[in-house]
Amino acid sequence: MPAYDPNNIFAKILRGELPSHKVYEDERAFAFLDIMPRAPGHTLVIPKSPARNLLDVSSDDLAHVAGVVQKVARAARTAFDADGVTIQQFNESAGGQVVFHLHFHIIPRKEGVAMKPPASAKEKPEALAEHARKLAAALAAS
Ligand code: 5GP
């Protein structure tokens, strides 16, 4: 497996070199909105440690990130009145991974509503700001 590339987009977001719509942060994890959401509220949860994907992350960091995924998924259900939540995670190009910093997708779902195809459209910044605000409020209340 190739080495971790510190210039990947999510590493730049973690270092504050690129903007993001933050949903949650603690000492080991960061959550922010996907710019091309497959449904409103589509969030990405990442470790702060330099892990390429599930195959090289430490089990401690993975356990911590899994806890944050659950926290955000619960908040997403409340904030978006979701009937369900889809969690996705891809490893290496053959596994569907495009950005090579470990991330979990959290996608709030409505009964009978299909997800948009991957990378179909960039969401408006105002909509992302509103969705991040709703998620952060649900997290604060949890
Ligand atoms: P994956 O690697 O799991 O296949 O997909 C990477 C995800 O990152 C995609 O859902 C894509 O929309 C999202 N993405 C790509 N570039 C950016 C970016 O600059 N900012 C944010 N917030 N998301 C991004």
Kindly give the distance from the C-alpha atom of residue 30 to the centroid of ligand 1, in angstroms, as a whole number. 14
Contact call for residues 142 and 23 (beta carbons, < 8 A): no
Please give the share of the chain, as a percent, with pLDDT higher than 90.
97
Give yes or no for residue 98 CB within 6 A of ligand 1: yes
Listed residue (36, 32, 43) closest to 122, CA to CA: 36
Distances (CA, A) of 69 to 18, 27, 35, 66, 113: 22, 15, 18, 5, 22
pLDDT value for 36 = 98
Distances (CA, A) of 56 to 48, 88, 138: 14, 17, 32
pLDDT value for 99 = 98
Give yes or no for residue 121 CB within 6 A of ligand 1: no
Identify the three-state secondary structure at position 135.
helix
Q: What is the pTM of this model?
A: 0.98
Partners of residue 46 on adjacent β-strands: 30
Kindly give the distance from the C-alpha atom of residue 78 to the centroid of ligand 1, in angstroms, as a whole number. 24
Domains of the chain: 9-141 (3.30.428.10)
What pLDDT band is residue 7 in, cutting at 50, 70 and 90? Answer: very high
Catalytic status, residue 103: yes
Give yes or no for residue 54 CB within 6 A of ligand 1: no
Contact call for residues 87 and 77 (beta carbons, < 8 A): no
Helix (H) or strand (E) holding 35, with range, is none
Kindly give the distance from the C-alpha atom of residue 111 to the centroid of ligand 1, in angstroms, as a whole number. 25
Identify the three-state secondary structure at position 10.
helix
User: What is the distance between the alpha carbons of residues 23 and 44, in angstroms, rounded to a whole number?
Assistant: 9
> To test the ligand 1 pocket, which listed residue (8, 15, 20, 34) has its Cβ within 8 A of the most ligand atoms?
34
What pLDDT band is residue 94 in, cutting at 50, 70 and 90? Answer: very high
Amino acid at 2: P
